[in-house]
Amino acid sequence: MTQRHTRFKAFTGELAEDKALGSITADIERFVREAKVSPKSIGVEYLEGARKIVMTLGYRDDQPAQDVRVSCVKLGKMDLVNDLAGLEQAMTRAAEAQGDVICHELYITEDGQFFMVFLATVGPPT
């Protein structure tokens, strides 16, 4: 199955108290399940001024449907200037616990916390 896609669905919501993704993850998972689509990518943008998250889901509707799990892992504060290797290691550790990752995104909160968002498959395609 090809990763290329041209269909998108947008979602918005507020972050949870701990700045992780809130109910938006369930909204995305429900859309995928009910629309019976094959997810291919996610986009994430944190709007500091509005304290909102905007997520986009890229998908195909001409391939077998695939249930997914959207998860968010707090990586903590990172020194991007001097420690890219540390960021890479934290991302790798977080990904290893996710199963079959389709794609990932990062967002950074106004207090400098890094969060990794994963889109991973759940079970076989239907």
Could you give the CA distance from residue 46 to residue 34 in angstroms, rounded to a whole number?
26
- Residue 2 — very low, low, confident or very high, per pLDDT cuts 50/70/90? confident
Residue 110, Cβ density class (10 Å: 0-12 exposed, 13-18 middle, ≥19 buried) = exposed
Asked if pLDDT for residue 85 goes beyond 80, the answer is yes
pLDDT score for 81: 65
- Residue 48 — very low, low, confident or very high, per pLDDT cuts 50/70/90? confident
- Residue 84 — very low, low, confident or very high, per pLDDT cuts 50/70/90? confident
Task: Choose between 30 and 85: higher pLDDT.
Answer: 30
Q: In Å, what is the CA distance from 101 to each residue of 22, 63, 65, 121? A: 20, 18, 16, 7
pLDDT score for 14: 92
Assigned token pair, 21: 């993704």
Enter the pTM of the model: 0.89
